[in-house]
Amino acid sequence: MRIHLAGVFVDDQQKALRFYTETLGFQLKHNIPLGEYAWITVVSPEDPEGTEFLLEPDAHPAVRPFVKALVEDGIPSTSFAVDDVQAEYERLQAKGVQFVQPPTDLGPVITAILDDTCGNLIQIQEEKPQP
């Protein structure tokens, strides 16, 4: 068994697609119209055949209170791996991305948390080399 799909709920799929591709740098994989919404997935350019990331509409009535409660306590919806958190922090800040947690050394990992502008907090994480 393999994990082929993960994702977040977003308040606007087209805005999310722009943020996850143009700002974060993922690539569009699927954009299949489904009536009012679409099946939109992106992939990492470093792993285009790898796990797809679904930008799922937050239309279900349970979703918005759920995501709102997560954000209130600062809990990220998901986490992406990066080679250098500090470099990504600087690159994304220059593009206007808001960080709610700057790069923070937590021992085995360095993390930072950004706002995806579509309702979610997203963690980026760098694993430090083991001594």
Query: Closest separation between CB of residue 93 and other proteins, Å?
Result: 16
* Residue number, 54 or 71, with CB nearest to other proteins: 71
Residue 20: CB atoms within 10 A of its CB come to 23
> By the criterion CB under 8 A, which residues form the site for other proteins?
68, 71-76, 100-102, 104, 106-109, 111, 113, 115, 121
Decide whether 27 or 98 has the Cβ nearer to other proteins.
Answer: 98
Of 94 and 106, which CB lies nearer to other proteins in the complex structure?
Answer: 106
CA dist., res. 114 & res. 94, Å (int): 13
In angstroms, what CA-CA distances link 21 with 2, 7, 24, 51?
24, 14, 6, 15
Q: How far is the CB of 110 from other proteins (least distance, A)?
A: 10
